[in-house]
Amino acid sequence: MSGNGSEGGTIETRIPSRLDRLPWSRFHWMVVIGLGTVWILDGLEVTIVGSIASRLTEEGSGISLDASQIGTAAAFYVAGACLGALFFGQLTDRFGRKKLFLVTLAVYITATVATAFSFSAWYFYAARFFTGAGIGGEYAAINSAIDELIPARVRGRVDLIINGSYWVGAAGGALAAVVLLDTALFAADFGWRLAFALGAALGVGILLVRRNVPESPRWLFIHGRDEEAEEVVGRIEREVREDTGEELPEPENSLVVQPRERIGFREIARTAFEKYPRRTILCLALFVGQAFLYNAITFDLGTLLGEFFDVGSGTIPLYIALFAASNFLGPLTLGRLFDTVGRKPMVSFTYLGSALITAVLGVFLLGNDLTTWSFMAFILAIFFLASAGASSAYLTVSEIFPMETRALSIAFFYAVGTAAGGIAGPLLFGHLINSGSQDQVAIGFFVGAVVMAIGGIAEIIFGVRAEQRQLEDVAEPLTAEGAPEPGEAEPERPRDEEVERGQRIRRRAEARERRERAGRRRYRPGPGRFGASRGLTPSAGEVDSEADLDREIGIIQRALADHGSANRRELARRVGPRYWGPGRFRSALREAVEEGGVKRLRGGEYAPAQSVGGPSSSQPTERGE
């Protein structure tokens, strides 16, 4: 059954599988542009305010704030973001992703336009509060919608790059400020107002694209709107077929749910703290760690450069632009590894790696051995890793909590992390910078290293392997039924074939573990494997991963047996691995060679073994169908 239906108050659907098996197409680009570019707005907002702060304190600016009022305005923005995330987050889970990501963007645009007309401190505070509320609401609505529409095989890299695009806005804001604050081009009381107007104009452009993004089909069927969900997915599939010119493989897995219009806050809280306490600890550690380090350095980088390295205020925006570029390059270049190497190795690596470099920077500050560029080299290296780690925090919380609580979970951890780490970090660093001592500032970097290391350790202990897995496999929906409706289950595989497949998977896992103990690389591309010979009980996701590998090896073996030897590129063309996920073809081909089902010939060609066994006899040969 490729569609869905309801009977007796339940709905059986294959919509998650249908969405996850789609090849990348223009539809996905529309989702990225329409939803993901909001982070550019956030980066633009924060950086522009930081860059124009000195202008707002000057006579003739049209508002004349003092330094303490600038800090108060920043606090109002952060408070608005935290409260907006919580307020709009619970509305997103209740009323839908699309309604709220349109509303929150409208709030942002309105508040940003209002900021451009500021005439007094209280008005500026209010405008900044509601601007923050719109951005905070966006974090909840957008992250949940993106992860529910992007295929599982590339969800990690897409999510990281989108969250990292904050720094595209930051770089743009820093460079724009250089031009807008030039009194030879714009009057002192006009240039800073134009900066906010430009942010609003960008928001309007995003709103026009966003209107075409559909409601999340996952949210629709959970709330009993299964016919509407079916219509949305059917339309997406038609668009993808027309765009790619390819037929889509049949979806494999189905899900049975009991639709509910609303789930109470008490049940949501119980899910986080009783059903998933380890995941809750993990997300708190990740969010507090990244919020502390990020807000401390982002708000105080210009002050650090000016106070300790005599960088002039006119050139500080250029350093901030360089800082922003490093932050974007981290998720851009490392994002793919979160889908291939895996979530746990990469999240822990980025947190612990940035913590280590931060600690080393603290040591050099104690010795007063740094120049401007050596200091910046440390900062760029730290945040190349930390930016990927911070983006993965949003990915983690979006993946590991049930669909019904996804938006509010994102909002909760964002608000708590920002309120705790995001406030404590700038306060601590501001106090240490005011001391005028690099030794004191070094203490701040040591504290930042510790909180980031705690996040990395929490990932090692509590992390969840979610790479290339359906969201519903990572965290079962609260409304899911234990089994499909009678008469709707898939035909059972013959028992002897099932036993043979299980034995084959077990032998393969044992052989892999022996190779790893012999010194082979532990973190291979592709989804995580389970250690069978150690007697560990594999999770359902790990069993599915091994079954997928078994199927993919069989497809490769049959393609060689039916069509003869081929080089790697030709073999990939035959089997169509784009539906499998990043790194899967490479993993399956290597596994097939190592277990003897496929021979590697001189010249880089591959050929079938003398006797092609395994699952190939019952597997299709073209495009993984």
Instruction: Assess whether pLDDT exceeds 80 at residue 176.
Output: no
List the structure tokens of 77. 């923005």
Using CA atoms, how far apart are residues 55 and 378, in angstroms rounded to an integer? 30
CA distances from 382 to 177, 387, 389, 507 (A): 25, 8, 11, 42
To the nearest 5 percent, what fractions of the chain are helix, strand and coil? 70, 5, 25
Nearest alpha carbon to residue 493 among 501, 483, 482, 485: 501
Q: List alpha helices for 117-190, DSSP H.
A: 121-149, 155-164, 166-180
- What are the tens digits of pLDDT across the range 526-547? 444 443 333 334 444 455 566 6
Using CA atoms, how far apart are residues 356 and 447, in angstroms rounded to an integer? 12
Nearest alpha carbon to residue 47 among 318, 398, 353: 318
- What are the tens digits of pLDDT across the range 387-406? 999 889 888 988 888 877 78
Residue 82: CA count within 13 A, CB half-sphere: 18
Over residues 278-290, the mean pLDDT reads 90
pLDDT at 519: 53
Nearest alpha carbon to residue 96 among 229, 7, 2: 229
The residues, ordered by sequence, that sit 6+ positions from 424 with a Cβ below 8 Å of its Cβ are 292
Using CA atoms, how far apart are residues 26 and 33, in angstroms rounded to an integer? 10
- What are the tens digits of pLDDT across the range 310-368? 887 667 778 888 888 898 999 999 988 888 888 899 999 999 999 999 999 999 988 88
pLDDT at 346: 93
Instruction: Assess whether pLDDT exceeds 90 at residue 625.
Output: no
Using CA atoms, how far apart are residues 64 and 47, in angstroms rounded to an integer? 19
Identify any residues that bridge with 598 across adjacent strands, giving them in sequence order. Answer: 608
Using CA atoms, how far apart are residues 92 and 415, in angstroms rounded to an integer? 15
Mean pLDDT estimate for the chain: 77
- What are the tens digits of pLDDT across the range 368-385? 878 889 999 999 999 999
Over residues 158-181, the mean pLDDT reads 80
User: Does residue 553 contact residue 592 with C-beta atoms inside 8 Å?
Assistant: yes
Over residues 107-112, the mean pLDDT reads 88
Least confident segment among 88-102, 186-200, 253-267, 597-611:
253-267
% residues pLDDT > 90 (the chain): 10
First CA to last CA distance, the chain: 16
User: Does residue 198 contact residue 215 with C-beta atoms inside 8 Å?
Assistant: no
CA distances from 246 to 378, 426, 576 (A): 48, 52, 11
The residues, ordered by sequence, that sit 6+ positions from 259 with a Cβ below 8 Å of its Cβ are 6, 9, 10, 11, 221, 222, 223, 224, 226, 479
Three-state secondary structure along 520-587?
A: CCCCCCCCCCCCHHHCCCCCHHHHHHHHHHHHHHHHHHHHHHHHCCEEHHHHHHHHCHHHCCCCHHHH
Give the confidence band of 305 by pLDDT, cuts at 50, 70, 90: confident
**Which amino acid type is present at position 586?**
R
214 by DSSP, 3-state: which? Answer: coil
Instruction: Assess whether pLDDT exceeds 90 at residue 60.
Output: no
Strands (E), 226-354: 255-257
Q: Phi and psi dihedrals of 12, rounded to 5?
A: -105, 130
Over residues 45-74, the mean pLDDT reads 70
pTM as predicted: 0.72
Identify any residues that bridge with 605 across adjacent strands, giving them in sequence order. Answer: 567
- 208 exposed, middle or buried (CB, 10 Å; 0-12, 13-18, 19+)? exposed
List the structure tokens of 84. 């907006």
